[in-house]
Amino acid sequence: MDKTTLDLWVGFFVAIGIAALMALAMKVGNLTSNTLGETYSVTANYENIGGLKARAPIKSSGVVVGRIDNIKFDTKTYQAVVTLRIDKRYSFPKDTFANIYTSGLLGEQYISLEAGGDDNFLKEGDRISKTQDAVVLEKLISQFLFNKASEASNK
């Protein structure tokens, strides 16, 4: 095998490696999974969204039913306003809970929709009023340490 052929094969495998890394980066960044058809938009307010990001999944029973479209800060209520784009194939009652969860211990954060029992369904422009903020690990640890310190000082 001469040097030119060997250089060609090395270049070919380097190009495949770069393409594979690009595909992996797109998958991790949620840029390739756009299986949503027509959507409707609803909003939810949170005191603390943790590390929630735009394009994060919205799941119900573990199934992706939408994506987060936008996150803003409301200067009047001092809350994060999250815009959710939900696939029109999925209807949720107006009393649905929108909770922020984390996949695994250090995984990505997502919104989980837990359906309520209302007969009326969410539609374009509605606001989900029943929300649960993200659990911030640092806050839990500091509360635990504060409680342990106060118990020790009371003895």
Radius of gyration of the chain (CA): 22
Chain position carrying tokens 């479209």: 69
**How far apart are the C-alpha atoms of 65 and 23, rounded to whole Å?**
23
**How far apart are the C-alpha atoms of 141 and 127, rounded to whole Å?**
32
Chain position carrying tokens 């573990």: 62
The token pair at 82 is 């999250």
**How far apart are the C-alpha atoms of 143 and 145, rounded to whole Å?**
6
Q: Distances in Å between the alpha carbon of 11 and those of 1, 23, 117?
A: 15, 18, 59
Q: Could you read off the pLDDT of 112-155 as tens digits, one per residue? A: 999 988 899 999 999 999 998 887 777 778 888 888 777 777 76
| Total-model pTM | 0.70
State the pLDDT confidence band at 2, using cuts at 50, 70 and 90: confident
Q: Where are the domains of the chain?
A: 1-32, 39-142
SS3 state of residue 98: strand
pLDDT for 139 equals 77
Q: Could you read off the pLDDT of 4-51 as tens digits, one per residue? A: 888 899 999 999 999 999 988 877 765 555 566 789 999 999 999 988
State the pLDDT confidence band at 69, using cuts at 50, 70 and 90: very high
